[in-house]
Every structure is written in structure tokens, then in C-alpha cells.
Amino acid sequence: MRLTSRLVVSTAVVALMGSVAYAEEFDWRKFEGTEITWAYDIHPYADAVVAYLDEFEELTGIKVNAELYPDDTYWGKLNIQLSTGSPDWDVVGTGIQPAWDVTPAGQLAPLRGLINDPSMTNPDYDYADFFPALTRAWTWDVAEEKIIDTPDGEIWGIPHAFENMQLMYRMDILDRLDVAPPSTLPELTAACEKITAADPNITPMAVRGVRFWSSIHTAPISIAQSYGVSDFVGSGDDLDTALDGAESIRFHKDYVAMIQACAPDSWANDNWYQVVDGLSTGKTAMAVDANMFGFWNNIKGASDASGQIAFAPPLTAPDNDEFASNIWIWSLAINAASEKKGAAWYFMQWATSKEMNVRGATDGKLVNPPRASAWDSQEWIDYANQPEFNNFYETFNTVQEKTSLLFTPRYGFGTAINAWAVAMQDMVGGADVEERLAELAEEIRDELN
Amino acid sequence: MARKKARSGNTFLLLALLPAVLILGGFILLFFWGFYQSLTDMRFGRTRVDFEGLGNYARLFSRGRFWDSVSATAIYAFSAVACEAILGLAIAKLFNTRALLAKWFRPAILLPLVLPPLSVALMWTTMMNPETGVLNYFLSFIGIDNFTWTSKAETAMFAVVFIDVWTFTPFFALIIFAGLRGIAPDIVEGARMNGAKAWGIFWRIELPMVLPYILLASLFRLIDSLNQFDIIFGTTQGGPGNATDVLSVSAYFTAFQNLYFGRGAAIMIVNWLIVLISAIVVVKLWQFTRKRVS
Amino acid sequence: MQNRNLTATILNALVLVVVIVLAFPILWIVMNSFKEAADINAYPPVFLYDPTLENYKVLFDLADAEATNYGTLKIEFFKPIISSVIISVGAVLLSLIAGVPAGYALARYKFRGKEDLAFFILGFRFAPVLLVIIPMFQFFQAVGLYDSYLGMIWVYQLVTLPMIIWLSRSYVEDIPLEIEEAAAICGAKRPRILLQIVLPLLRPGLVGASLLVFLLAWHNFALGLILTAKNTPVTVALLKLLNPGVSFYPVVSAGLVVSMIVPILLIMLGQRHLERGLTFGALK
């Protein structure tokens, strides 16, 4: 039997079983004939959905137009679409941090009511199945244009797939140069010096250094947590930056020393594509970034690095065994101005369902899937434990326990963390750490208050 | 009779100007709207918008970072335009000689103008990579190792100006070339008969006569480089640190990354005023030199 | 005589240096577009290699999906080129229709505030586009111009129309007034004078000006990104190549080469005219 026809048959069986069991409760064809637009980043996560859109259309009679944009420009476009109240886009891809900036104005539709409504949500959906760290991070209330962080709050988005931050390294290079994978930040600096001495053609380590918050949200925020540093302390109106505190100074001194010893001269221009490129071509020995980049490059035939990239938790402070890992959750949300919220929700619940999680993951695209059931499913266990993925699966399980969103929920996230990224460039360029952090804290207070 | 003619002339004038004025006029209201927004505390992600008068401007002028951006903008634009004018003049002189290759390769001058600046910035970033870039490979032959180009604050401004100069020197070269061609041969010949040396001819005759052309090119280039966004955003995004944080990039960050649209709009307006004033000065200079030459 | 030969040799050598400096980055991009990813990152840089067409196949979605990680996502590159051609050509045509008469009027008529009007028109060339992008987006959505060629052609007038007006004004000023006066004395009406006498004289200049503003339109990025959805221009499509599914340096190189083809063709066809356009009529 050909693969495609087998898929169609199995889907039909699933759909049939669904309709037999819940024929009266759930009607997949309620919004038949509707046409919706779904906007997303160009990403394998998008691919994981696009591959099965035909099935969704067959199941529901809803037509989905996918509108995809490249990473950097997607956000600008999304801001404009949402803030002008345009109904063009029904379902949008977004992340939690950007959502902090747009939910206070009511630009995303609240979802709790839809999730709890049996006539709108298929009983198999099982919202509680998502990792609690992810759903918790998508929950808050909005009052007087401020974010109230509460576990009983409104739900603003559904996790589609997520990245957690890990140390990834080329086993072949570290073996050849006889370097053990480091676990603390100073150990990393020492390992880099050893690599440089042994083979000056290898770049010891790559992390993003660009002037956006995206370069803080990978390595710095994860490692800083182990040094006891947060972006903001306090709560409510007393929320204040802690970046000029003693812990922060200690962390930044170590981190800046690490970048100076480890990262290529091009660090300040490096975005994720340079980081990933270095790892997959074997120019770089190590990287701290989203674990899925290591996973994708390990897929057979995906790159020359296939089978060579291994995983480890993010680095820690020298006197602390506890590591922390930040997350980035690509999620689906509904534009508050959408005129087809029902159909939009149908698409979202299908795209984030248990079946789609496992399928996307075992296609090698939707990594990491956000549902616990996906990680327990035999199909995904078999797939992710293939030899070319090395210790991907077990490292995920270790890291996931200490994974959470390490930024503080508040409006003005982008302003503060972009300023942090600029300050980091200055410090790596030689500015005095203590003075520059004081300046940064002052700037954040000035901008946000 | 005369009256009728005047009226038909007016009708024609109106008909000739109307379409252009209508097409562009539509934008005017939008610009006023944008200017109004610069007087408010408008932010993306917040519904309430309060009128603040000149608050955004007052805030801007009191911040050191704003003045750093102003000076970065000025340094970028004036050094780029100055280099382009000098190199453009040299290239124009070179291609105005009888050298055989100059005739053959004249179209090659246009090559830098065919690439879209934003996407080509990505290519420059790879070519300028300190460790693997092809530019440093060439520099290593003359003993310069690991020049940092766009990746260190000390060299970043030089690197972005370098890209601007590479891209737009041809523009100057072509205009000045046209100016040189326009000088009547008998003037130069006459001077030569009177015993003037090549340098003397250049300083006393050619340069004054092509000066209006240089200023015209400077006008258009100054406008564009005071507004330059694509080249800088595509390579350094304004960094490292704030080394290349020119006004247009700063405005983009404030308005579209940090979502303070009112504050960003104020930066755009200031940038626009700087361009406007520079343009008026250059136009006056241009009119003055043109009068003197003719 | 020998001295002269030496000078000529030096001059030719200098020309060669200038040409190499100007052409090298473009040659390098062309070379990269035929390289495999590993060769692009190699240091020292690779100058001799087995060329591959793989990057172009990926670009036009002919490659085996497995080889690119792309799966079912399509790279659209052909349609954006067509869109860019339609929008840029349309913008140039509209600018010519609206701009040449205006340029003529500014050159030939004396009226109060003429210089102010001319400077005002030029002012659009340096107006901050980012400032109006939000109201423009809202307006386009409200009147249904969003994602339409017509809307893009209109908004590109910000880029193309002021240039066309300024250039055609300077070309008209180059035409001796006596020619028109002579025709008027012979009894020709103004429309006829314009169509049959002035326009043919303007043609070479206008061709050059059109080529120049075509390039400006072709290179525009921000307006296309915000104001289109499906009918995106090629500059936006180029950035779409930056994604985790492809080895982007070689594929982006291929994309750049393809996006250069139209401008280079135009330059080859209209090089002399383009020089004239670039020199604002200075080249007489």
C-alpha cells in the first residue's frame, strides 16, 4: 500500500472512531465552507502543519490559507496587523514574550472559554496534557493595560512546539582534541582556550550576539539564572530591574570573559543562522542555542554533521550545580479582530492535537513537541532514540525538569531586553562591566517608567 | 484674445500639474497623521493614546544617546559622501582619458547599482567575516590579519561607510564624467597653449566647472545617506553597542521593536528635518556655483 | 613616445583595478551561487570548484525535498519576480504619464511658488517612509488596496514620481524654447507641439530616467513587506530564503543572482540611456 493512501485511511479511521464515540458531542463540520488565514514564521514547525492541511480541510470543510514570512520581518508585520485591528489574519504564530506586549491592548482573543466549551473543543483534546511549564507561561490576566501574572488567569495561546536551551557540541571535534564537555561557565572558558591552542582553525564556541533580545534569550538568560540573576525583581508596580546587582556583575564578568575566549570575532553580527551553520559545517565545536537545531542537523542526510552533535544542559555558575534552561514556545493564537474565531479555533485545536504532535515530531519537524503524551508515545520514543540523535532524548528529559520561561512577564519586555543585548555588545567590546550595567539599569528604568 | 490665451495656458498648467499633485497629495495627509503621532505617547499594544505636545522631542533632546545617534548619522553621511566625491572624481578623470580599457569597461561602473541594498548587506556580512571572509583573505596578502570590519565597535563605522562608498561611488563618477565631457575642448587647449600644466588645468578649469555636478550628486547622495537604513540594518543593526546607531535605525528600533511608536515618530521627524536643512544648504550652494560657472 | 606608452599602460592598469574592485563582490556572489555549502564556508576561500546547479534547483523548487529539509513548504521565487516586474513597470509608466507633463510645466511656465512646488515635490524623495507605514496600511486595508498591484504602483510613486518630475524638468529646460515657438507660429496647437515635437526630443532622456527609477522601484523592500501578502516583490522573497530549512548562503546567492538578471539585462540594453538617467540630464 502506498504511504499516502495509508495515511488517508488511518486518518479516516481516526475520524470515524471520533465520530462514532462523540457523534452527538462534537461536530467537526460546524464551520464548513469557511476560509481562514493562518500566518506563521517560515520554519519546519510550519512545514509540519502544511504537510497535512489537506486532511484538515477534508475533516472540517474549512479552507486554510497559509501566509509565511521570514523570522526577522514576521514580527514587524505581525505587530502592524494586530495593532491596526486588521481582520486579515485569523490564526497567528507568536511567542509568549511578544504576547506580553500585545495582550494588554486586547489584540489576542482569550481562549479559556473555547477550551472549556464542549461544543467547541473535541473531548480528546486534553489541554492538561501540555507540559505545565508551557501552559502556565501562557496564563495571565490583564487589568488596566498591565499584566497580572496568575495561574488562574486567561489563556492567550496554545503551545505548538518549543525550543529549550542546551549546550550542543560536536563529538568528533571534542574527541579529536581531547576536550571534555564543560558544565560550568569558567570550565567552558578553559575548554575554549584548550581548543584554540590545539587547533586554531576551529571556533571553540558560538552563541548569538546580535543586537536583539533574541541573543539574550538563549545562553545569557539561562546561564544567568544559575548565578542568581533575573531580569526584574519585585512585583506589580514595584517591578525593578536587577541587572546592576552584585550577582549580575559577577555573571557578566564570567560571561564576557567566555565570549572573548570562545566566540568568533564576528560574534556581534552572529544570529542563529551563523551559529547553526558553524555547528553543521564543523567550523564550530560547541554552541548554546535551541536544542532543535542540533536535532535537525542530526537527521540522516540533513547535514554533514548528522550523528555528530551531542547535547548537554546549559552551563552553570562555578559554585552551583543547578542549571536552568529558558524556553521559546512557538504558539498559535487568535487575532482578536478575526471575524472567524470559531473556524480559527478549530484549526488551532487540530494543529496542536495529540495526533499532530506525534506526527510532526516523527516527521523530524515538530521538535520539541509540547505534549507529555507525545514524549510517552512509542513512535516518538523509537524515532528520537535512533543512533544519529545521540543523547537527544535523555538530555531533553533531564533539561525539561529545569526548563521554564526565565523572563518576567511585563509590558516593555522588548525595550528592556534589547537594551541588555546592546550593553552586552559594549561589554564584550571592552566597556567596564560594572559601569555599563549601571548605565543599562538606568536606561531600563528611564524607558519603562 | 490675449486673455483667452492666458486662460487656456492656465488650464493647461492645471491639467499638467494636477495628476502629479493628486498622486503625491494623497500621501500628504498621511505625513501629517504621522507627525501628529509624534506628538502623542502612542504605543503598539496599548489602546489609549494621549496628546503630549512636544514631550517626545523634549525627552529625546535630553538623552545623550540621541545626540550620539545624530553624530553617527552625520559622520556616516558626510564621510561617505566626501569619499564618494573624491573617488568619483578620480574615477571620472580616469575614464575620461584615452586609455583603451576605459572605453571598453565603462558599463562596469554601473554594476554596484544593480543589487538591492538590503539583501546584499547579508553578502557583505559574510565577505567581511573576520575569520572566514574573502576580504580578510585578500588583506592577509598585504600583512593585515583579522581586520574586524562590522564586528567590532572600532571598525564598524568604517565598514558600513566602506559599503556605502563601494555602492555609490559609481553614481558620482558618472555625473562628474558627464561634467568633464561637457567642458569645451578649446578652453582646455587654450590654457595648455598658454603653458598651463595638467595640474593647473585641473585646479583652475576642470574642478570649478564640474563643481556644480559634484554638488548635484552630493545633494542626492546626502539625502539618501542621511536616511540610510538598508546597509546599516542589514549588517550591524546599529551595533556593536551603539557604534553605528544612526537615526533611521534608532527610529526603527524605538517604533517597531520597542513599540514606542510616538517616540520613534519623533526621531523620524528630527531625521527628516536634518535631511531637509542639509538639502536646502546644498541646493543653495549648487545654485551659487552654477551661476558662477555660467 | 615611450613616456606616452608608459602613461597609457599605467592608466589601463588603473582602469583594470577599478573594474575589479567594482565587479568583485558581484562575481563572488555569482561564484557562491554555484558552490556547495561546504565550499562557501571554506577558508582559505575556494576559487576553483565543481559548479553545481543544486542551489538554483532549490530556489525554483525543483530539488528533491529530502535534500533541502524543506518538506512540503514551497519556496516561491518565480511569482515574486513577475510581481516585481508588474509593479515596477507599472510604477514607471504611471510616473511618466503623471510626471512628464508636470516636469514640462515646471520648466516652461512662470508662476508664483514654482520653486517651492519643485522643492516640495523633491521633498517626497526623502520623506520618512516608516512614519507613514501604519496609516498607509490602515488606509490600504480600508479601501481594498492591500495586497493589490494597483496599490503598490500608487505607493511606489513616492519613490519614482519625484525623480521623474525633476529629471524631465531638466530635460525640457535643455530643449531650446525657439523650437516650440517656431512650431506655434506655424499654427500648431499646444497638444500637437508636445506630442510631435517635444516628446520625441525628450525620449532619450526619458528612457534613461525610466531605467533609473525602475532600479529604485525594483530595490524597494519595506513597502512591499508591509503592504502585500501574496503579491510580494522579489526583495521580500529574497529574505524568505533565510530560514532553517535551507543552507541559506548558497541559496540566497542564487536568489541574488536571479534577482540581478532583470536589472543587468536592462543595463545592457539601455546602458547609454541609463547613464543619461543617472546623470540627471547632465550628459548632453
Per-residue three-class SS string for C159-197: HHHHHHHHHHHHHHHHCCHHHHHHHHHCCCCHHHHHHHH
Residue C112's pLDDT band (boundaries 50, 70, 90)?
confident
What SS3 state is found at C37? helix
Residues C33 and C131 in one domain: no
Three-state SS sequence of chain A: CCHHHHHHHHHHHHHHHHHHHCCCCCCCCCCCCCEEEEEEECCHHHHHHHCCHHHHHHHHCCEEEEEEECHHHHHHHHHHHHHCCCCCCCEEEECHHHHHHHHHHCCECCCHHHHHCCCCCCCCCCHHHECHHHHHHCEEEEECCEEECCCCCEECCEEEEEEEEEEEEEHHHHHHHCCCCCCEHHHHHHHHHHHHHHCCCCEEEECCCCCCHHHCCCHHHHHHHHCCCCCEECCHHHCEECCCCHHHHHHHHHHHHHHHHHCCHHHHHCCHHHHHHHHHHCCEEEEEEEHHHHHHHHCCCCCCCCCCEEEECCCECCCCCCCCECEEEEEEEEECCCCCHHHHHHHHHHHCCHHHHHHHHHCCCCCCCCEHHHHHCHHHHHHHCCHHHCCHHHHHHHHHCCECCCCCCCCCHHHHHHHHHHHHHHHHCCCCHHHHHHHHHHHHHHHHC
Q: Provide the pLDDT for residue C62.
A: 57
This prediction has a pTM of 0.89
Contact between A276 and C244 under an 8 Å Cβ cutoff? The reply is: yes
Pairing of strands A91-94, A35-41: parallel
Instruction: Spell out which residues of chain A touch residue C242, defining contact as CB-CB under 8 Å.
Output: 70-72, 273
Residues C126 and C222 in one domain: yes
- Span A42-55, mean pLDDT? 90
C121 contacts: CB under 8 Å, gap ≥ 6: B20, B24, C102, C161, C162, C165, C166
Beta bridge pairs of residue A403: A325
CB contact under 8 A, B45 and A422: no
- Span A212-218, mean pLDDT? 92
**How many structural domains does chain C have?**
2
CB contact under 8 A, A88 and C37: no
Instruction: Spell out which residues of chain A touch residue B125, defining contact as CB-CB under 8 Å.
Output: 269
Considering only the beta carbons, identify the residue of C41, C43, C70 that sits closest to A277: C41
Residue B247's closest chain C neighbor by CA?
Answer: C128
Q: Is the pLDDT of residue A223 over 90?
A: yes
Interatomic CA distance for residues A345 and A121, integer angstroms: 8
Q: Provide the pLDDT for residue A321.
A: 93
What ipTM is given for this predicted complex? 0.87
Contact between A374 and A355 under an 8 Å Cβ cutoff? The reply is: no
Nearest-CA distance A346 → chain B (Å): 26
Can you give the residue range of the structural domain that contains C128? 78-240
Residue C277's pLDDT band (boundaries 50, 70, 90)?
low
CB contact under 8 A, B171 and C28: no
Q: Is the pLDDT of residue A104 over 70?
A: yes
Question: pLDDT tens digit string along B275-293?
Answer: 999 988 988 888 788 776 6
The Cα angle at residue B216 between residues B213 and B221, in degrees rounded to 5 = 125
C-alpha cell at A22: 462523540
Q: Which chains are within 8 Å of B by 3+ CB pairs?
A: A, C
User: What percentage of chain B has pLDDT greater than the value 90?
Assistant: 43
Residues C229 and C92 in one domain: yes
B4, with CB counted inside 10 A (0-12, 13-18, 19+), is exposed
Instruction: Spell out which residues of chain C touch residue A302, defining contact as CB-CB under 8 Å.
Output: 69
Where is average pLDDT lowest: A46-55, A246-255, C262-271? C262-271
| Interchain CB contact of C97 with B (< 8 Å) | yes
Residue B51's pLDDT band (boundaries 50, 70, 90)?
very high
Contact between A89 and A74 under an 8 Å Cβ cutoff? The reply is: no
CATH number of the domain bearing residue B184: 1.10.3720.10
Residues C35 and C165 in one domain: no
Interatomic CA distance for residues C282 and B171, integer angstroms: 13
- Span C124-144, mean pLDDT? 85
Q: Provide the pLDDT for residue C50.
A: 87
CATH for A31-162+329-399? 3.40.190.10
Residue A20's pLDDT band (boundaries 50, 70, 90)?
very low
Q: Provide the pLDDT for residue B100.
A: 82
Pairing of strands A284-290, A158-170: antiparallel
B221 contacts: CB under 8 Å, gap ≥ 6: B80, B81, B84, B168, B171, B172
Residue C244's closest chain A neighbor by CA?
Answer: A43
Nearest-CA distance C150 → chain A (Å): 19
Nearest-CA distance C39 → chain A (Å): 10
B212 vs A85, A197, A434, B284, B292, CA distance in Å?
50, 58, 52, 11, 10
A171 contacts: CB under 8 Å, gap ≥ 6: A308, A309, A310, A390
What SS3 state is found at B51? strand
Instruction: Spell out which residues of chain A touch residue B132, defining contact as CB-CB under 8 Å.
Output: 283
Where is average pLDDT lowest: A189-203, A253-267, A415-429, C60-74? C60-74
CB contact under 8 A, B151 and A101: no
Residues in C 148-207 with any Cβ partner in B closer than 8 A: 154, 157-158, 161-162, 165, 190
Q: Is the pLDDT of residue A56 over 90?
A: yes
CB contact under 8 A, A265 and B148: yes
CB contact under 8 A, C146 and A88: yes
Residue C16's closest chain B neighbor by CA?
Answer: B101
Mutate to test the interface with B, among C12, C15, C24 (most CBs of B within 10 A): C15
Question: pLDDT tens digit string along A59-80?
Answer: 999 999 999 887 777 888 898 8
CB contact under 8 A, C71 and A365: yes
User: What percentage of chain C has pLDDT greater than the value 90?
Assistant: 23
Query: Looking up cell 543547578, which residue turns up?
Result: A322
The tally of CA atoms less than 13 A away on the side-chain side of residue B204 is 11
- Span B131-159, mean pLDDT? 91
CB contact under 8 A, C161 and B33: no
Residue C280's pLDDT band (boundaries 50, 70, 90)?
low
Instruction: Spell out which residues of chain C touch residue A287, defining contact as CB-CB under 8 Å.
Output: none
Can you give the residue range of the structural domain that contains B211? 70-249+269-293
- Span B35-64, mean pLDDT? 89
Where do you find CATH 3.40.190.10 in chain A?
Answer: 31-162+329-399, 164-326+403-448
- Span B216-245, mean pLDDT? 90
B91 contacts: CB under 8 Å, gap ≥ 6: B109, B169, B170, B172, B173, B177, C18
Interatomic CA distance for residues C166 and B22, integer angstroms: 17
**How many structural domains does chain B have?**
1
Interatomic CA distance for residues A447 and A449, integer angstroms: 6
Query: Looking up cell 582559505, which residue turns up?
Result: C44
Contact between A445 and A410 under an 8 Å Cβ cutoff? The reply is: no
CB contact under 8 A, A102 and B45: yes
Considering only the beta carbons, identify the residue of A145, A415, A429 that sits closest to B241: A429
Tell me if B55 is assigned to some domain: no
B84 contacts: CB under 8 Å, gap ≥ 6: B164, B165, B168, B169, B171, B172, B217, B221
What SS3 state is found at B40? strand
Q: What are phi and psi of A229, to 5 degrees?
A: -105, 135
Question: pLDDT tens digit string along C33-55?
Answer: 998 877 877 778 888 888 888 88
Please provide the distance, in angstroms rounded to a whole number, between the alpha carbons at the two ends of chain C: 34
| Interchain CB contact of C22 with B (< 8 Å) | yes
Tell me if B20 is assigned to some domain: no
What SS3 state is found at B148? coil
Interatomic CA distance for residues C249 and C236, integer angstroms: 16
Q: Is the pLDDT of residue C1 over 70?
A: no
Q: Is the pLDDT of residue C96 over 70?
A: yes
C259 contacts: CB under 8 Å, gap ≥ 6: B116, B119, C81, C234, C235, C238
Q: Is the pLDDT of residue A359 over 70?
A: yes
Average pLDDT, chain B: 87
B230 vs A70, B225, B236, C142, C159, CA distance in Å?
17, 10, 10, 29, 15
Question: pLDDT tens digit string along B99-121?
Answer: 888 888 887 888 888 888 877 78
Tell me if B1 is assigned to some domain: no
A140 vs A114, A123, A143, A401, B127, CA distance in Å?
16, 24, 10, 22, 46
Q: Which residue has the higher pLDDT, C272 or A331?
A: A331
C209 contacts: CB under 8 Å, gap ≥ 6: C163, C164, C167, C168, C171, C276, C277
CB neighbours (10 Å) of residue A442? 12
C-alpha cell at A111: 481562549
Query: Looking up cell 514551497, which residue turns up?
Result: C74
**A vs C: CB pairs below 8 A:** 83
Contact between C125 and C162 under an 8 Å Cβ cutoff? The reply is: yes
Considering only the beta carbons, identify the residue of C37, C66, C240 that sits closest to A69: C240
Residues C114 and C207 in one domain: yes
Q: Provide the pLDDT for residue C245.
A: 61
Q: Is the pLDDT of residue A123 over 80?
A: yes
Instruction: Spell out which residues of chain B touch residue A106, defining contact as CB-CB under 8 Å.
Output: 47
Residues C14 and C134 in one domain: no
Q: Provide the pLDDT for residue C72.
A: 59
Interatomic CA distance for residues B267 and B250, integer angstroms: 8
- Span A139-164, mean pLDDT? 92
CB contact under 8 A, B101 and C165: no
Considering only the beta carbons, identify the residue of A50, A76, A299 that sits closest to C73: A50
The CATH class of the A164-326+403-448 domain is: alpha beta
Considering only the beta carbons, identify the residue of A268, A283, A422 that sits closest to B151: A268
CB contact under 8 A, A43 and C71: no
Tell me if B101 is assigned to some domain: yes
Nearest alpha carbon to residue A405 among A83, A39, A137: A137
Mutate to test the interface with C, among B123, B135, B213, B218 (most CBs of C within 10 A): B123
Tell me if B10 is assigned to some domain: no
Residues C22 and C112 in one domain: no
**CA-based radius of gyration for chain A:** 22
CA-CA-CA-CA torsion for A129, A130, A132, A138, nearest 10 degrees? -140
Average pLDDT, chain C: 83
Contact between C106 and C117 under an 8 Å Cβ cutoff? The reply is: yes
CB contact under 8 A, A77 and C225: yes
Interatomic CA distance for residues A372 and B125, integer angstroms: 41
A376 vs A331, A353, A380, A396, CA distance in Å?
21, 15, 8, 13
CB contact under 8 A, A105 and B257: no
Largest CA distance in chain C: 75
Q: Is the pLDDT of residue C283 over 50?
A: no
CATH number of the domain bearing residue C82: 1.10.3720.10
Instruction: Spell out which residues of chain A touch residue B153, defining contact as CB-CB under 8 Å.
Output: 425-426, 429
CB contact under 8 A, C157 and B171: no
Interatomic CA distance for residues A241 and B243, integer angstroms: 25
* The dihedral sign for the CA sequence A304, A309, A314, A317: negative
Q: Provide the pLDDT for residue C243.
A: 67
Q: What are phi and psi of A378, to 5 degrees?
A: -60, -35
Residue C281's pLDDT band (boundaries 50, 70, 90)?
low
Instruction: Spell out which residues of chain C touch residue B112, defining contact as CB-CB under 8 Å.
Output: 22, 25-26
Residues C15 and C121 in one domain: no
Q: Which residue has the higher pLDDT, C154 or C184?
A: C154
Question: pLDDT tens digit string along C155-177?
Answer: 999 989 998 998 888 788 878 88
Considering only the beta carbons, identify the residue of B119, B175, B276 that sits closest to C279: B175
